[in-house]
């Protein structure tokens, strides 16, 4: 959700704080937002210089161009995704203290904001917005002034720590004060914040994209920690003021150009075409000289893996469908049960967890709040947690017992594409590692599957090269369809769900995905003449019964007038005979087919949304990283 940037640099006021904030916010646009704003501070200012506008970042940039902001020594910037108060200029961040000397930005939800607001109102404080953030701004101003009375000098860092101890809920807060124009302070609780380490300048961001154009050196900030940055210093403490000296540093393994379109019409189009590389990179470095699977990030003893007797995957949206695909493969290879649970439902059903249960938390951003809370519940119950994640330094891998990074590179478009295939690859590597340590597959069987996985980038590229025109024609033909049905069996079922989700997310079309066997149990009532039905057809090789069942489903909906699109293996005569349009895939093992089957469905959603004139990268009402429950 909200994007956050902070910068502290030269002690001489200049234009760089504004530049860093605006560039950082531009790189964070993918997180989803409805307004944007910045606050600047420099020596001699009486109040913080604040500018904020509802709508896109371009609105803010235009306003600043018409009426330039002053040079500064530090700055903070914010893109807001509304949780308290409608999108408007007034509700946009930053918010200021009663005297205007302090400005803050905030990501998350402060759950005791209304009580704090009432307390402050009884003391004479006034509020302009409907946000919980303004409550924090007024409270921070009050605490800061109290400290000045106590000590005779300002201490914004201590004021922020005191306030953090008073807040409940989830929050990342950054603040600046005209009385200390050389620092930016921040605090985090259940919401992301990372530090960027520069030369004579330092940065804060909700993720590394905020500052990767300026430095690749970064430092993790853990739960319930506060940070103070100046141009030449970074100090980290807990909320009680105790110094933290063991913060983990890391180097960002991609550069700013990776988060730019590079000539593509949209980030989503670019990221779909990066899927072969995402699969290839996720496989890199996972094998030793004997070609055995070597997962260095796990940090869990193989003997522990041998004792695992159940896996529970917790995830949301696209990540949960990747988990559903993995369930079929892991159960087949390892012969232990795998459950896939929506993370937001997990802890509310009192799940059965033991020390021999492995919970696998899948999240592209590593900050998905529902998944993070499921992870914490699992650890409280004594289970081990392994994270599959695409973002270094994020919260979920830090709090898990082990992590498998997907190395897909930054995914900017809100609708996930390349992360989906990379998550499947990572989950498959985990399954094969289990098979290796538990001896449920022979060594040559594991090598055969690994060879098939290593061949998948070329097969995905084949789909991109050969299906694009057919997909584009199908999108034009079905542009005005009011609804779609997606059907699949076995591993095709979660692919159907994911294909349906993509069309909902970016083309705003009512779409439902079903297991094909459910057709007669209700969904077939929705089929009327002209209704588009997309069917994932499994290969007939080795699974002829399953193939025939799905072909029967095509015949059933065709008999009722449906317009059918099949995703099928090259040369499948039944798909060619019964479907109106076929998106072909190259020959591959059934368990690996989701890696290619999903690609034309992603392209189809992209083409439909583009033809409708929608912003495919930033669909309405959606955020890239959902950091509140």
Cβ burial of 204 (10 Å; 0-12, 13-18, 19+) is buried
CB 236, CB 50: distance < 8 Å = no
**Is 624 an active-site residue?**
yes
Q: What is the spatial distance between Cα 37 and Cα 21, in angstroms, rounded to a whole number?
A: 9
CB 471, CB 600: distance < 8 Å = yes
3 state DSSP class of 465: helix
Q: Please state the φ and ψ torsions of residue 331, each to the nearest 5 degrees.
A: -65, -40
Q: What is the spatial distance between Cα 496 and Cα 512, in angstroms, rounded to a whole number?
A: 9
Select from 372, 403, 407, 408 the least CA-distant residue to 388. 403
Q: What is the spatial distance between Cα 603 and Cα 475, in angstroms, rounded to a whole number?
A: 9
Task: Check residue 336 and report its DSSP letter.
Answer: S
Which of 2, 21, 228, 588 is labelled catalytic? 2
Task: Check residue 94 and report its DSSP letter.
Answer: P
CB 195, CB 229: distance < 8 Å = yes
Q: Please state the φ and ψ torsions of residue 586, each to the nearest 5 degrees.
A: -75, 165
Q: What is the spatial distance between Cα 430 and Cα 436, in angstroms, rounded to a whole number?
A: 10
Q: What is the spatial distance between Cα 340 and Cα 328, in angstroms, rounded to a whole number?
A: 11
Which of 327, 504, 618, 624 is labelled catalytic? 624
Cβ burial of 233 (10 Å; 0-12, 13-18, 19+) is exposed
Query: DSSP letters of 260-306?
Result: S-TT-S-HHHHHHHTHHHHHHHHHTT-B-TTS-B--TT--S-HHHHH
**Six token digits for residue 309:** 């007797």
Q: Determine the distance from the C-alpha atom of residue 479 to the mean position of all C-alpha atoms in its chain, rounded to a whole number.
A: 29
Length of the chain: 629
**Is 588 an active-site residue?**
no
Select from 44, 64, 23, 32 the least CA-distant residue to 617. 32
**Six token digits for residue 508:** 């705003």
**Neighbouring-strand partners of residue 540:** none
CB 319, CB 362: distance < 8 Å = yes
Q: What is the spatial distance between Cα 286 and Cα 293, in angstroms, rounded to a whole number?
A: 6
133 CB neighbour count, 10 Å cutoff = 29
Give the position of tokens 């998550």.
423
Residues labelled catalytic: 2, 624
């Amino acid at each position: 959700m909200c994007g956050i940037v902070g910068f502290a640099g030269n002690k001489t006021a200049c234009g760089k704080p504004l530049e860093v904030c605006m560039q950082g916010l531009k790189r964070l646009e993918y997180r989803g937002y409805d307004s944007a704003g910045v606050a600047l501070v420099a020596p001699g200012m009486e109040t913080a210089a604040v500018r904020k506008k509802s709508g896109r970042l371009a609105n803010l940039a235009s306003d600043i161009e018409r009426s330039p902001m002053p040079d500064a020594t530090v700055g903070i910037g914010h893109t807001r995704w509304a949780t308290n108060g409608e999108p408007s200029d007034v509700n946009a961040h930053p918010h200021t203290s009663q005297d205007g000397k302090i400005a803050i930005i905030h990501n998350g939800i402060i759950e005791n904001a209304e009580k704090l607001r009432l307390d402050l109102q009884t003391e004479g404080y006034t509020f302009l917005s409907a946000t919980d953030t303004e409550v924090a701004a007024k409270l921070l101003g009050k605490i800061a002034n109290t400290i000045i009375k106590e000590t005779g000098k300002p201490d914004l860092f201590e004021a922020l720590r005191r306030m953090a101890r008073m807040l409940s809920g989830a929050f990342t807060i950054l603040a600046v004060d005209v009385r200390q124009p050389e620092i930016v302070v921040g605090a985090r609780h259940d919401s992301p914040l990372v530090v960027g380490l520069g030369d004579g300048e330092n940065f804060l961001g909700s993720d590394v994209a905020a500052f990767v154009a300026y430095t690749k050196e970064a430092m993790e900030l853990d739960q319930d920690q506060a940070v103070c940055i100046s141009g030449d210093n970074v100090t980290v403490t807990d909320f009680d003021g105790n110094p933290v000296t063991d913060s983990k540093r890391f180097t960002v393994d991609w550069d700013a150009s990776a988060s730019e379109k590079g000539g593509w019409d949209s980030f989503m189009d670019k990221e779909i075409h990066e899927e072969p590389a995402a699969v290839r990179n996720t496989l890199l470095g996972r094998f030793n000289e004997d070609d055995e699977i070597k997962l260095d990030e796990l940090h869990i003893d193989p003997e522990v893996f041998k004792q695992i007797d159940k896996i529970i995957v917790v995830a949301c949206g696209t990540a949960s469908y990747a988990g559903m695909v993995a369930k079929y493969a892991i159960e087949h290879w390892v012969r232990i049960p795998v459950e896939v649970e929506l993370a937001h439902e997990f802890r509310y059903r009192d799940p059965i967890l033991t020390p021999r249960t492995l919970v696998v938390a899948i999240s592209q951003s590593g900050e998905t709040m529902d998944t993070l809370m499921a992870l914490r519940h699992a650890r409280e119950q004594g289970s081990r947690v392994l994270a599959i994640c695409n973002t270094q330094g994020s919260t979920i891998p830090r709090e898990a017992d082990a992590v498998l990074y997907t190395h897909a590179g930054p995914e900017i478009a809100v609708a996930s594409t390349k992360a989906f295939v990379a998550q499947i690859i990572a989950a498959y590597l985990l399954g094969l590692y289990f098979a290796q340590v538990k001896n449920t597959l022979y060594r040559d069987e594991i090598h055969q599957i690994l060879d098939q996985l290593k061949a998948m980038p070329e097969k995905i590229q084949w789909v991109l090269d050969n299906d694009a025109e057919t997909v584009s024609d199908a999108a034009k033909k079905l542009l005005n369809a009011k609804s779609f049905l997606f059907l699949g069996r076995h591993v095709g079922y979660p692919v159907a769900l994911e294909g349906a989700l993509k069309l909902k997310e970016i083309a705003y079309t009512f779409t439902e995905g079903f297991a094909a066997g459910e057709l007669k149990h209700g969904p077939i009532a929705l089929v009327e003449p002209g209704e588009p039905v997309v069917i994932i057809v499994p290969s007939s090789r080795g699974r002829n019964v399953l193939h025939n069942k799905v072909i029967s489903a095509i015949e059933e909906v065709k008999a009722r007038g449906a317009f059918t699109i099949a995703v099928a293996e090259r040369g499948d005569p039944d798909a060619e005979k019964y479907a109106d349009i076929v998106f072909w895939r190259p020959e591959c093992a059934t368990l690996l087919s989701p890696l290619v089957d999903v690609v034309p469905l992603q392209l189809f959603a992209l083409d439909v949304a583009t033809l409708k004139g929608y912003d495919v990268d930033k669909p309405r009402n959606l955020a890239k990283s959902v950091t509140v429950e």
